[in-house]
């Protein structure tokens, strides 16, 4: 049996057993029934990039386990004064037990984890990884489907810039799902295997949706386009999830979105609020899964 992970940097370093253990623990977690298992532990939330959902849910998760938190925004801390990532990490290490970190550069949490001793939990790094989102997405799917084995999971939108797409793809294919990506050419990687093993690219949205069990919609990441021009009308015409397109998926297909969702762009209001949409459930599940992640990494005897 593999040891408990020391840090959570990317899905690739977890085996299926560790993933299923975290998901099973998340099933027993409920922020409405707080625990005290991490009482006395201090967790720093070090955010170099904006976040609403991820930061709040890590914070609620930590507090629901009895830990205390300190939120550090890059704009307010001495990071602005030019302190290096290494110095910030070393300073935090002497006063906290773990760091939850979001950074615009891919690989920043991995770098920091090599420089300091305390666990690092990656809350999103550049275009690379967002492992807690991958875990909460899998958890949400498992609330509706018996297993991921054999499911057709279609992700549509800005795949190229999406750390969510990468972490989801690694996790879903580890658990046996068929992962299909769809989007405009400029928002797709050159080859599917650049993203994760076993992923297919289907360029036509109608074809991609056919027989899907899960439809995951992604936002066009305007902040990462770097001059790339996206014609919004054309995007909507070819890639927006409408009620009639959703009918191509299986009858019991669920619709997901990691947020923030731009209504009227990725999907219509009608789809966003339909019975098949589990977008709000993803948010609550985010807290449960992050409780399980923190408990796994910080819990038990040390
Ligand atoms: C995603 C992110 O930040 O990578 N959002 C999230 O964590 N809920 C996706 C996005 O920003 O579009």
pLDDT given for residue 74 in this prediction: 79
94-130 pLDDT per residue, tens: 999 999 999 999 999 999 999 999 999 999 999 999 9
Residue 106 in 3-state DSSP? coil
pTM above 0.85, yes or no: yes
pLDDT given for residue 225 in this prediction: 81
pLDDT given for residue 5 in this prediction: 72
Distance 159 CA to ligand 1 centre (A): 12
Count of residues in the chain: 302
Ligand 1 touching residue 124 (CB < 6 A): yes
pLDDT given for residue 224 in this prediction: 82
pLDDT given for residue 223 in this prediction: 82
Domains of the chain, with CATH numbers? 11-130+285-298 (3.40.50.1370), 144-277 (3.40.50.1370)
Tokens of 286: 């985010």
Ligand 1 touching residue 66 (CB < 6 A): no
pLDDT given for residue 4 in this prediction: 60
Distance 124 CA to ligand 1 centre (A): 8
Per-residue DSSP letter, 60 = H
Ligand 1 touching residue 258 (CB < 6 A): yes
How many H-runs (helices) and E-runs (strands) does the chain carry?
Answer: 11, 9
* Rounded Cα distance, 9 and 34, in Å: 26
Q: How many CB atoms lie within 10 A of CB 201?
A: 18
Residue 287 contacts residue 61 (beta carbons within 8 Å): yes
* Rounded Cα distance, 255 and 4, in Å: 32
Ligand 1 touching residue 164 (CB < 6 A): yes
* Rounded Cα distance, 278 and 271, in Å: 11
Each of the 302 residues of the chain gets a pLDDT tens digit; together they read 455 679 999 999 999 999 999 999 999 999 999 999 999 999 999 999 989 899 999 999 999 999 999 999 877 666 666 678 889 999 999 999 999 999 999 999 999 999 999 999 999 999 999 999 999 999 999 999 999 999 999 999 999 999 999 999 999 999 999 999 999 999 998 776 777 778 999 999 999 999 999 999 999 988 888 878 889 999 999 999 999 999 999 999 999 999 999 999 999 999 999 999 999 999 999 999 999 999 999 996 44
pLDDT given for residue 83 in this prediction: 73
Ligand 1 touching residue 259 (CB < 6 A): yes
User: What does the DSSP assignment read for 191-221?
Assistant: SGGGTSTTEEE---HHHHHTT-SEEEE----
């Amino acid at each position: 049996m593999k040891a408990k992970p020391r840090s959570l940097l990317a899905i690739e370093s977890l085996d299926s057993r560790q993933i299923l253990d975290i998901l099973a623990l998340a099933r027993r977690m409920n922020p409405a029934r707080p625990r005290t298992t991490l009482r006395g532990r201090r967790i720093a939330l070090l955010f170099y990039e904006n976040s609403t959902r991820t930061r709040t849910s890590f914070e609620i998760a930590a507090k629901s386990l009895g830990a205390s938190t300190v939120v550090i925004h890059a704009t307010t801390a001495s990071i602005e004064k030019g302190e290096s990532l290494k110095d910030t990490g070393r300073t935090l290490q002497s006063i906290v037990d773990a760091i939850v970190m979001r950074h615009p550069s891919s690989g920043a949490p991995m770098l920091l984890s090599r420089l300091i001793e305390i666990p690092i939990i990656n809350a999103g790094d550049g275009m690379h990884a967002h492992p807690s989102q991958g875990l909460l997405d899998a958890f949400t799917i498992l609330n509706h489907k018996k297993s991921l084995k054999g499911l057709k999971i279609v992700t549509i939108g800005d795949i190229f810039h999406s750390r969510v797409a990468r972490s989801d793809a690694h996790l879903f294919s580890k658990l046996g799902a068929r992962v299909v990506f769809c989007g405009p050419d400029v928002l797709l990687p050159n080859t599917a295997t650049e993203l994760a093993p076993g992923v297919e690219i289907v360029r036509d949205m109608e074809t991609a949706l056919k027989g899907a069990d899960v439809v995951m919609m992604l936002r066009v990441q305007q902040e990462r386009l770097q001059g790339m021009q996206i014609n919004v009308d054309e995007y909507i015409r070819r890639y927006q999830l409408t009620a009639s397109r959703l009918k191509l998926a299986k009858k019991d297909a669920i619709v997901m979105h990691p947020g923030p969702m731009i209504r009227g762009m990725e999907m219509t209001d009608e789809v966003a609020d339909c019975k098949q949409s589990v977008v709000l459930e993803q948010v609550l599940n985010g807290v449960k899964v992050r409780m399980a992640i923190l408990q796994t990494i910080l819990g038990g005897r040390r």
